[in-house]
Amino acid sequence: MTLNYVDPPASIILNTRDFPIQMAYTDIPEGLIMDLHVDLIGDNSWFGGGLKQVEGPDGTVTVPIEVRVPSYFAGNLSVHAFLTPAGGSFQARVANAPELEVGIDRTPVNAIGVLCQPRAVQPGQPFVVNLWFTQTHPRPMDLIAVALDGDTKEYYGGFQVPVKAQQGHVSGRFDLRPAPLTAPLKFKAWLSPRGEVAPNYVTYTMLNIPLGPETVQPCNPDPDNEWTETGIPPANWVELHDVPKVLTPGEKANIRLVYNLVPESQKTATNATVSLMTWDWKTHEALEVASVETVLAPVFKEAVVALPVPKEAVNGRDGVFIIAFLPNFPGVEDRVYQVKLDAPMPLSEVTVGEAGAVAPPLATAAAHKLRHVRM
């Protein structure tokens, strides 16, 4: 069997969840299913990776890898790719690709990762986890970590730490209550805008911590530290400000946008869309019911939009939130969930833009339907 890279990258993007690595393989026995692993290694530490199942005899495949490189890591990374029988580990590998050295594209992103976690924990025995974070720009955020029953989503413990710089690391203590479980615990950590609640997070990560008879390899607390480095490349971003806590149907809500556009993005007109969304907790989907667009001037850093709020009322939805996003730059967005209506929200029509044009509900929502990531 052979394994090799197709158009190997010179660098990877810091802290992405699905960076593509394309691989070519040959001579796998007909009908045999194998695991193709891609790992990122730096300073003898694992900094992310991905896995894809492949089937013989020959083929090419793209393996999306999660990049978990702390922002302060200064060196290059080695990419290790190998084949194992299905379910096999590194020790069971049967073919290796040549080692590949890659650099790191440090354009800032929103990301969170693990510095230290126990190998196993036991409810009733407190333990510490150490996490790192990075943001596109300094902003007040809440770093939150929780442990939930994998089936019922019942809360078993967690912690919250306020942060505000662009990068940093924090320690948090879990004190899991010793209560019966219907499924293994699921641990999740995320960054939310200060004062916001789930599902409003800008980035998240899962922590794979199994339960055991006792805590195994506990972590020592790492003193909280955060900083904003100079010389970090700028990023496109947008924030919602001055969002009314209560929206009045039939009126417009004035909302201020604060944003940044990198020089390359300033060469063409950049639109921003602000939308009023309804949230369905049963389906974990959102539907746009009103929106307004504006052109962002590169010489300014703020803009004010008037978001129309439909006046008709209908029952049956669980909540509303507001989202601002840049259609030309996927992933550049901001949300505010802490808003309420003083009357239920209509779904019979969608109001779009300042002119009050009307379109069927799915006509505009289909382009940017949102889905909550389930635990």
- At a CB cut-off of 8 Å and minimum separation 6, what does 74 contact? none
Q: Which has more pLDDT, 45 or 106?
A: 45
Domain range holding 89? 2-105
Q: Is 229 helix (H, G, I), strand (E, B) or coil?
A: coil
CATH of the domain at 95: 2.60.40.10
In terms of domains, do 87 and 183 share one? no
C-alpha span between 323 and 99 (Å, rounded): 43
Q: State pLDDT tens for residues 227-278.
A: 887 777 788 999 999 999 988 888 999 999 999 998 888 887 789 999 998 8
In terms of domains, do 312 and 198 share one? no
Averaged pLDDT, 315-339: 82
- To the nearest whole percent, how much of the chain has pLDDT over 70? 87
In terms of domains, do 152 and 100 share one? no
CB 369 within 8 A of CB 359: no
Question: Residue 225 forms beta bridges with which residues?
Answer: 169
Averaged pLDDT, 340-351: 54
CATH of the domain at 299: 2.60.40.1930
Confidence of residue 281 (pLDDT cuts 50, 70, 90): low
Q: State pLDDT tens for residues 82-105.
A: 999 998 888 999 999 998 999 988
In terms of domains, do 61 and 147 share one? no
Residue 143 has pLDDT above 90, yes or no: yes
Confidence of residue 344 (pLDDT cuts 50, 70, 90): low
The answer to whether residue 232 is domain-embedded is no
> What is the reported pLDDT for 355?
31
Long-range contacts of 354-361 (CB under 8 A, 24+ apart): 354/292, 354/306, 354/308, 356/308, 361/287, 361/288, 361/289
- Exposed (0-12), middle (13-18) or buried (19+): which is 218, by Cβ within 10 Å? middle
In terms of domains, do 263 and 349 share one? yes
Confidence of residue 151 (pLDDT cuts 50, 70, 90): confident
Residue length, the chain? 375
CATH of the domain at 179: 2.60.40.2550
The answer to whether residue 124 is domain-embedded is yes
Q: DSSP label at 211?
A: B
In terms of domains, do 202 and 284 share one? no
> What is the reported pLDDT for 57?
92
- At a CB cut-off of 8 Å and minimum separation 6, what does 203 contact? 109, 110, 111, 112, 190, 191
In the predicted model, what is the mean pLDDT of the chain?
83
The answer to whether residue 137 is domain-embedded is yes
The answer to whether residue 365 is domain-embedded is yes
In terms of domains, do 132 and 91 share one? no
In terms of domains, do 241 and 353 share one? yes
> What is the reported pLDDT for 242?
95
Confidence of residue 15 (pLDDT cuts 50, 70, 90): low
In terms of domains, do 154 and 83 share one? no
Averaged pLDDT, 284-304: 87
> What is the reported pLDDT for 73?
77
The answer to whether residue 250 is domain-embedded is yes
The answer to whether residue 297 is domain-embedded is yes
The answer to whether residue 81 is domain-embedded is yes
Task: Sort residue 152 into left (φ over 0), alpha (ψ -120 to 50) or beta.
Answer: alpha
Q: Which has more pLDDT, 54 or 338?
A: 54
In terms of domains, do 68 and 168 share one? no
In terms of domains, do 247 and 347 share one? yes
Q: What is the number of structural domains in the chain? A: 3
Residue 312 has pLDDT above 80, yes or no: no
Last residue within a domain, chosen from 170, 196, 227: 227
Q: State pLDDT tens for residues 127-142.
A: 999 998 888 899 999 9
> What is the reported pLDDT for 117?
92
Last residue within a domain, chosen from 77, 105, 133: 105
Last residue within a domain, chosen from 50, 76, 105: 105
Averaged pLDDT, 318-339: 88
Residue 43 has pLDDT above 80, yes or no: yes
The answer to whether residue 337 is domain-embedded is yes
- To the nearest whole percent, how much of the chain has pLDDT over 90? 45
Residue 375 has pLDDT above 70, yes or no: no
> What is the reported pLDDT for 311?
80
Number of Cβ atoms within 10 Å of the Cβ of 94? 13
Q: Which of 205-214, 221-230, 328-337 has the lowest mean pLDDT?
A: 221-230
> What is the reported pLDDT for 63?
94
In terms of domains, do 95 and 149 share one? no
